[in-house]
Structure 1
Amino acid sequence: MSRVLIVGAGLTGSLCACLLRREMNNKVHIVVWDKSRGSGGRMCTSRPPDSLSHSADIGAQYITATHEYAQSHKSLYSELLSSGVLRPLDCQMEGLRHQDGSQNYVAPLGMSSVVKHFLRESEADLFLEHHVTGLYRRGASWEVHRKQGDSECFDSVVLTMPVPQILQLQGDLKDMLSAKQKEQLDGVAYSSRFALALFFPPGVDIDVPWGARYYNNHNDGNSSKSSSICYVTVEHRKRGTEGGAACGPSLVVHTSAPFGLQHVERDKEDVQPIVLQELNKLLPGLPQPVGIKCHKWRYSQVLTSVPNCPGHMTVLEHPLLVCAGDAFSHSNFDGCVESALSVLAAFKASMEVNL
């Protein structure tokens, strides 16, 4: 049985683990490492430290399926809908650019529930707070080092973290990249954003008519005076749940890409009051929250992906080392599905060669 390490417990990593389990079953022993304290990656659902009831999506907000992807990835969408992980988005959305034939979906339990579903299906051994620092080739295996100081060996490795973090890894990876591959990876670019989650006590009403609203969209007539905020949502309305009445509502704010780029090197504690000040201008009279959580997404959405490398990049075929994620496709649910499917194809080809 081949021992496979997937680095990153986000959407691509969880999908890779799930697809490998379903297609290769007893041929692989799957292990997933993530440096964070929870799974989800950029599909992160956060809670304040003193609450088990509040929750807020501080990363991806919903999933948009184009007509084409709804057909080509129909089995995955059907699985998530039938299990209750996803449901159609039916709240009032202001400033949303509509796409013909597209359907939007939300996760009633938070976006991280999508990732957790695939991790459960994968039956992988999940280890959180496992921060990978280096990769070293040891004959027919990879020795993977962690920040904690220890290491383990695996027959195959899939790296699904953002490309700049891949390039920071110590060891043999950089020496094995071709000049073309280095150029391709160096050209990947991401937007940066800050996200704020505001948690309110039970009984509070967020007095706005919508469930979510986009700002600074000059094509929709909803442009605001603020250049820092691009999106605000009332979580329980967006999800279509009654959680706001039971445990108090949550409000999520995403900053614009230009604001994120301007302030990306600043501490989130310094940026939080700036965003709150702008939020109070947009929503005057907003009740006082009982908790606030600010998160900096240094690597938010992919602006420039790897060219001519759909889905993944094979660094070495034996022992197999693959880079994957939305940087090798595009930054949405279906982009991660495409990447995971291409990783599965690479594993199948590798297994056939080595049999």
Structure 2
Amino acid sequence: MSRVLIVGAGLTGSLCACLLRRELQSQVHIVVWDKAKGSGGRMSTSRPPHASSHSADLGAQYVTATPAYAQSHHSFYSELLSAGVLQPLHCHIEGLQQKHGQENYVTPRGMSSVVKHFLSESGADLFFERHVTGLYRHGASWEVERKAGGSETFDAVILTMPVPQILQLQGDLETLISDQQRQQLDCVRYSSRFALGLFFSPEVVFGFSWGAKYFMDSPCIRYIAVESRKRSADISGLAQSLVVHTSVSFGLEHLEWDKEDVQPIILQELHRLLPHLPQPISIKCQKWRYSQVLTTVPNSPGHMTLLQAPSLICGGDAFSHSHFDGCVDSALSVIRALKASLRV
């Protein structure tokens, strides 16, 4: 049985683990590592400071399916809808640019529930706070080093973290990447942004009617959402939470600032846009250095095989498109490549 390590417990990593389980169940032992304290990646859901508050999606907000993807990825959408992980978006989002035939979906239990669903289906051994720092080839296997010390050996490794983090890995990776592959990886560009989660006391009622809104005339804030309204969730007994996303230009301008210095600027603009907003009882600030992929690997191949044997394969939305279906495409591509390298 081959030991396969998937680095990254985001959407692509969880899909890879799930597909491996379903297609090669008796032939692989699946292990997933993530440097964070929980799963989700850019589909993370922040737990509230108090059990009486609503959770907050600080990353991706909803899933948009084009007619073509709704057909080609029908099995994935059907599975998530049947499991109650996804449901149609019903709330009013001001400024949402809706194209003909598109369907939007939200997650009643938060965006991380999509990732958690696929991880649960995978049966993988899941470990958090495992930050990979180096890859070393030893014959037919990989020795994978962790930041906290120690290493483990695997027969195949799948890397699903952002491309700049892949290029920072120590060990044998630098000699394995061809000049052409490095040029392709160097083409990848990401947007950056900050996100705030504001948690309120139970008696707070918002005076505006929308569930979410895009702000096109603010130099700082691009999007605000009331989590319960966005998800059409029953919040009986739960306090409200608000999510604020900054614009791409603001994120880039303040990328190297500390979160503590950026938060007051965002809050000042928030109170300009919503002057009657009550004071929250708690605030969480998230910096997304790698928010959305602006420029993918040329021709969007879905994956990149750095070594056939022992297998070392890169995947993620940087190799396809920066949305749910891009991650599905990448995961399918990665698994096809891995099966070919394992000759199964």
Q: Return the TM-score normalized by structure 2.
A: 0.98
CA distance in 2, matches of 1:305, 1:115: 22
User: Which residue number corresponds to residue 220 of structure 1?
Assistant: none
2:79 match: 79
When the two chains are superposed, the root-mean-square deviation of aligned CA atoms in Å is: 1.0
Q: Deviations over 1:57-100 (max 9, x none)?
A: 00000000000000000001000001100000000110001111
Q: Could you tell me which of 228, 231, 237 is aligned with 2:229? A: 237
- 1:72-221 aligned at under 5 Å gives the runs 72-216=72-216
**Alpha-carbon displacement from aligned partner over 1:15-58 (angstroms, at most 9, x marks no partner):** 00000110111111000000000100000000244447431000
Match runs of 1:272-351 below 5 Å:
272-351=263-342
Divergent runs of 4+, >6 A: none
Distance 1:150 1:210 in 2: 50
Q: Is this contact kept in 1: 2:52–2:202, CA < 8 A?
A: no
Q: What is the identity percentage for the equivalent residue pairs of Structure 1 and Structure 2?
A: 69
Q: Deviations over 1:142-174 (max 9, x none)?
A: 000000110000000000000000000000011
Please report how far the alpha carbon of residue 340 of structure 1 lies from its aligned counterpart in structure 2 after TM superposition.
0.1
Q: Take 2:206 and 2:89, find their aligned partners in 1: how far apart are those partners?
A: 19
The residue identity in structure 1 corresponding to 2:240 is P
The reply to whether residue 247 of structure 1 matches residue 246 of structure 2 is no
**When the two structures are superposed, what TM-score results if normalisation uses the length of structure 1?**
0.95
* Unpaired runs of at least 5, structure 2: none
Total equivalences in the alignment: 344
Cα distance in 2 for residues equivalent to 1:79 and 1:309: 26
Asked if 1:262 corresponds to 2:262, the answer is: no
Q: Which segments of 5 or more consecutive residues in structure 1 lack a partner in the other structure?
A: 217-223
The whole-number CA distance in structure 2 between the counterparts of 1:66 and 1:48 is: 32
**1:24 aligned partner, one-letter code:** L
Q: Answer with 342-351 or 169-178: which moved more.
A: 342-351
Is contact 1:48-1:293 (8 Å) kept? no
Secondary structure in structure 1 of the residue aligned to 2:25: helix
Question: Could you list the per-position Cα deviations for residues 90-131 of structure 1 after superposition, in whole angstroms to 9, with x for gaps in the alignment?
Answer: 001100011110000000000000000000000000000000
The alpha-carbon deviation at position 209 of structure 1 amounts to 1.0
Tell me if the contact between 1:48 and 1:292 (Cα under 8 Å) persists in the aligned partners.
no
